[in-house]
Structure 1
């Protein structure tokens, strides 16, 4: 009888957990497009007007050959600057990572500009998001069901749901982009790695959306090719990204020019170092976070107003060279643009019996885009170990957002890592078109011999 009671208790707990992350009712979903934006942000501004009302920008521009830019926003001057001397005045509106940088480096500062809320999305994304609100469910942390095309959880009830909004956001049908990376030493010297990435989106595809169900969880295919420096050139990483864990989750392959063959790579996961980064970026830190969620307990802390990197067109455009980005100790502090925005705060703490270099991660998601724009990462002793920030820009051509570049500060070494930079190369090509077998191991093997 005792064992039977325990069994029923376990079932009750399981059902309670599922109920905690269930889809919302029609009454809540009706707020989308009224008091809430069509993807779940508060439409109104804050009381003092420092966060304005949402005013979406229309689609404009070409899908190829254009760097993200808004000349009006780019021409603005800072309202004020946060420094070590003024840190206490603004500490309630800062991430722990930004506070650490301000306390540690006299040369670090945050230039704060007027806030703009002009992020918009294509109408099919809005329509699909509203349907998802009452149909899409999260089973555990890594399996989705009844979700199609739009943001799956516009009115989140659990900590894992906003993270899935980030992972499944609309980014176009497909894309070719340069992802240039720099390991910056404490004296400002850096090593440049050049990577070309091709991505085909399947879930967030307006032309041919593939729904997420208990049995179908693939949401994108990805292929990267390292082209420089010579010691890394010819490395390929192929990923079929899926919801789920273990054999049901991500499938990955690695081609190394030293081995001259492509092989399955289960290590393309979690806190294994991303190939060619010398340990300065884990695989699950790409796009700030893109890993499985199963190793953590996820808590939805709530919303707050903080200063986050936003509309940093100077960082993303061709007017800034890589040598201008990389300065001793931290990114060139004259270039980033910070704005006051409302963010969702999500806290992930490591589950007993699992492992990760980060015992706790605190993530900050912009309410208007569901992008993770910053993350405080803690070690097992509770110390702030790393800080990530993604400099958000809105592309009116595709009506989507990207974090370009992304920075990972390593507080134990004094080095930092810049990734997703393309200033000295071509802008995103959002007209890229790939054959059905392009993202296959056989196709990569053929490419490697050309």
Structure 2
């Protein structure tokens, strides 16, 4: 039976069972979908590629368009941190180590592990669910086109035929689901200031301050086809401001679309040497920048870079409690001292909701090397972004877990994840990166950025 026969039979089924058989495929089996399948993006699927309907008991609502503008009753002006549109919601219930057995089928492995290991202080406050993700209509139109034209290349290590939106809004494999995380609408030019914090097991911490900006060529409205990208989907600069021992370090990345035949291009300026050098180590399991070794380069944002060292398999779609609509966690009403606690972030400020997630497993290929032998990712169905992950060592033991804390930047609109937590069970420490509470708000309209800025010569000037 072909995959499309499975899809057509599944189309009559409601709920998550729609995906379980159709997506147990390997990379490159099928790519673009036929026209009658693509029409589902205006029928039972949203233009984001998720299921329009809610779940049977109503705890997951139907998608009705999300937050496509500043919500009624919210006062917002340029330069503000985004006010919480759900500030009036109250906690439905709290999951703890003592009662987690009552919710086991709805807990990710990430959250089971956090509750089991840190249950004396870690908890999950569950709120009403809101499907807030929304994007501009021109992105929805791009999704419709991408469904018909998007294809994997080089065994899942590149993408062709798609642009602007999600490359595979109706995916056929774990590789395509992963690429939906790595590619998508984030607006064209973006800049921000942020902090990274790595507390000791006692709660003391060093704060790294940095600023970064990007031109996401994948989202450039003047580029109409993937061929027009010249294989460069984004240009990125990271400038570390403090502490003193690393201040002035600058990283430049040209992120490629086909990451096997033309790997990521990266450069680094060091104020100690006053030289710019190529930086091929900004990839894979090399230590992430400003992480004190608490995370890998390819774990920022959940996962980034070339997927070639793993085999990617989807385990289907399921319902789970995940971090969502974390406006409070990003609020400028909180200070970093309010958020930082020993072993994990202050759970009083983290919001969890019930949503459907894709579950994808990455298994290290026998011929490849990486400190993580296996990784399990949970991607929200509306955003396709990774919201939780489990990272296993070579012995098969759970070493680290990740949480990501999304919001919808409704003034754009874009479904964004700025903040990422990586929790290390071996040493009891964690990394929180992307904090903006004491920084200026993220600027999604950094129109002053120019592609001529993203050169090795420029980053030498920035570092000085």
TM-score of Structure 1 vs Structure 2, range by shorter chain: over 0.9
- What CA distance in whole angstroms lies between the structure 2 residues aligned with 1:293 and 1:186? 32
Query: Counterpart of 1:294?
Result: 308
Q: Does 1:147 align with 2:156?
A: no
1:63 Cα deviation from its structure 2 partner: 8.5
Query: Counterpart of 2:48?
Result: 39
1:281 Cα deviation from its structure 2 partner: 2.1
Task: Verify the 8 A CA contact 2:422 2:432 in the aligned structure 1.
Answer: yes
SS at match of 2:190: strand
Task: Verify the 8 A CA contact 2:209 2:242 in the aligned structure 1.
Answer: yes
1:150 Cα deviation from its structure 2 partner: 1.4
- What CA distance in whole angstroms lies between the structure 2 residues aligned with 1:62 and 1:282? 36
Query: Counterpart of 2:203?
Result: 188
Match of 2:241 among 218, 227, 237: 227
SS at match of 1:74: coil
Query: Counterpart of 2:149?
Result: 135
Indicate the larger mover: 240-249 or 308-317.
240-249
Query: Counterpart of 2:88?
Result: 75
Q: 1:301 to 1:225 in 2, by over 3 A?
A: same
1:320 Cα deviation from its structure 2 partner: 1.1
Query: Counterpart of 1:401?
Result: 415
- What CA distance in whole angstroms lies between the structure 2 residues aligned with 1:66 and 1:236? 27
Q: Does 1:48 align with 2:57?
A: yes
1:405 Cα deviation from its structure 2 partner: 1.9
Deviations 1:118-164 (A, max 9, x none): 21110010001011101110121211111121111011111011111
1:186 Cα deviation from its structure 2 partner: 1.3
Query: Counterpart of 1:11?
Result: none
- What CA distance in whole angstroms lies between the structure 2 residues aligned with 1:26 and 1:91? 39
Task: Verify the 8 A CA contact 2:250 2:462 in the aligned structure 1.
Answer: no
Query: Counterpart of 2:387?
Result: 373
Deviations 1:216-252 (A, max 9, x none): 3211100010001111100000000012235612100
Query: Counterpart of 1:95?
Result: 108
Task: Verify the 8 A CA contact 2:27 2:175 in the aligned structure 1.
Answer: no
Task: Verify the 8 A CA contact 1:63 1:431 in the aligned structure 2.
Answer: no
Task: Verify the 8 A CA contact 2:158 2:260 in the aligned structure 1.
Answer: no
Query: Counterpart of 2:99?
Result: 86
- What CA distance in whole angstroms lies between the structure 1 residues aligned with 2:115 and 2:130? 24
Q: Does 1:59 align with 2:69?
A: yes
Q: Does 1:447 align with 2:462?
A: yes
1:268-279 matched pairs, under 5 angstroms: 268-279=282-293
Match of 1:383 among 397, 421, 446: 397
Q: Show structure 1 runs of 5+ residues with no match.
A: 1-15
Match of 1:172 among 165, 187, 211: 187
Deviations 1:2-33 (A, max 9, x none): xxxxxxxxxxxxxx967513211111101002
Deviations 1:157-186 (A, max 9, x none): 110111111111111111110121000111
Task: Verify the 8 A CA contact 2:400 2:424 in the aligned structure 1.
Answer: yes
Q: Does 1:419 align with 2:433?
A: yes
CA RMSD of superposed structures (Å): 1.7
TM-score (norm 2): 0.90
Match of 1:111 among 117, 125, 131: 125
Q: Show structure 2 runs of 5+ residues with no match.
A: 1-24
SS at match of 2:290: coil
Task: Verify the 8 A CA contact 2:209 2:240 in the aligned structure 1.
Answer: yes
Task: Verify the 8 A CA contact 2:378 2:388 in the aligned structure 1.
Answer: yes
TM-score (norm 1): 0.93
SS at match of 1:271: coil
Query: Counterpart of 1:4?
Result: none
Q: 1:310 to 1:82 in 2, by over 3 A?
A: same
